[in-house]
Structure formats: structure tokens, C-alpha cells
Amino acid sequence: MYSTWEELENACRSCTKCGLCEGRTNVVVGMGNPQAKVMFVGEGPGEQEDLQGKPFVGRSGQLLDKMLDAVDLDRNRNIYIGNIVKCRPPKNRDPLPEEQEMCIDWLRDQFLLIRPKIIVCLGRIAAMKLIRPDFHIMKEHGQFFEKGGVLMMATLHPAALLRNPNNKPSAFEDFLKLRAKMDELGIE
Ligand code: SF4
């Protein structure tokens, strides 16, 4: 456990705990407001994220930002965005279970510093790791689950929405439910 955000980020940036360190340009620790009450978690960095060292900055990130904006959320103001693994898997493959297991301590340390009230999993991989191993993203997205005093919800990954734009309205409903839950809890 780290007592400051700076200590955590510095340690994470020099991590070599799994093989993903070999192909990375940057460790993508995360970005946003470390005091945010809502945290978004994706599965891992893609090409642009690896190059820029920031999460969700490619086309899927642009879509994510639009959906966030529609419910008055902004990664520079009232949310924090991180990933299950902090280094890019080769050719954007899914992070392997052992890579996720090696990296999850960084996310736990981020949770301990941020102490979010709501965690939103972006896509199947994050939901299976954080909510339940048999989580069914198409059936269960948009539902809230309570775990250890934190509300958790999953929505469809923005990259999946770019591949299947027909699912965008259904994913947007998840964002509306998130906003309603934040309002109910008095979170701005
Ligand atoms: S993916 Fe995570 S555990 Fe693996 S080297 Fe990167 S920071 Fe370390």
C-alpha cells in the first residue's frame, strides 16, 4: 500500500512483474481525479494508449468521452480511469489470467487511495475480473452489484461499440443509470 499517489505512480511505472513489460512503450497507470467517487476500469492499453501513456485515448476513448460528457462526467474533473493491466498486450489480445493476476495489486492500491463509491467496468474482461468470473456482459450490463461496500456496474467496452454500433443505445442507458445512481447518492 502507498501513502501518496506519486509514490504509487512511480513504483508502477517501473514494474516488471509480468512479461507485458517487454513490449511496452509506456506504463499506463491511469488518469483522472484521484479524489473521484466514480472509477472506470478497462482491460488494458491499446496502441495509442501505449504510445501516449494515457488510458482510452484512441477512437474508443473518443467515444467514451462523448458518452461521459452526455451525463456530465469528465476524466479531467470527476472520474478516474484505469485498467486491469497497465502495459499493452501484444496485438491488443486479451490480457492473460496470469497477467491480470500479477497486475491487479496496482489496481487494488489505486482503489485504496481513491476509495471510489462506484466502479464501472468497461467490458467483459474487467467485469469478469472485478465482479464475477462468470459475468455475462450482454445479459448483466447496466445492473448494480454491491461488493465490499462498493457499488459495481459493467457496461459494454467502447471498442465493442465501435464494432457493433447497434449496441450504442443500450450502452448509453447504462450511463443514464449511472448518473441516476450518482444523483441518488449525492455524488457530483
Ligand atoms: S502489466 Fe502490470 S504487472 Fe505486468 S509489467 Fe505492466 S504494470 Fe507490471
pLDDT score recorded for residue 74 = 97
127: CA distance to ligand 1 center in Å?
19
Domain residues of the chain, as ranges?
Answer: 5-185
Mean of the pLDDT values across residues 55-75?
A: 97
Closest to 102 (Cα-Cα) out of 124, 87, 82, 120: 87
- Please indicate whether residue 102, judged by its CB atom, sits closer than 6 Å to ligand 1: yes
Q: With bands split at pLDDT 50, 70 and 90, how would you rate the model's confidence at 188?
A: confident
- Please indicate whether residue 86, judged by its CB atom, sits closer than 6 Å to ligand 1: yes
Mutate to test the pocket of ligand 1, among 20, 41, 109, 110 (most ligand atoms within 8 A of CB): 20
- Please indicate whether residue 84, judged by its CB atom, sits closer than 6 Å to ligand 1: no
CB 80 within 8 A of CB 9: no
pLDDT score recorded for residue 184 = 97
* Minimum-distance ligand 1 atom for the alpha carbon of 15: 8
Look at residue 65 and give its three-state secondary structure.
Answer: helix
- Please indicate whether residue 168, judged by its CB atom, sits closer than 6 Å to ligand 1: no
Burial of 3 by CB count in 10 Å (0-12 exposed, 13-18 middle, 19+ buried)?
exposed
Give, in words, the CATH class of 5-185.
Answer: alpha beta
In whole angstroms, give the CA distance from residue 123 to residue 58.
16
Number of Cβ within a 10 Å radius of residue 22: 9
Q: With bands split at pLDDT 50, 70 and 90, how would you rate the model's confidence at 54?
A: very high
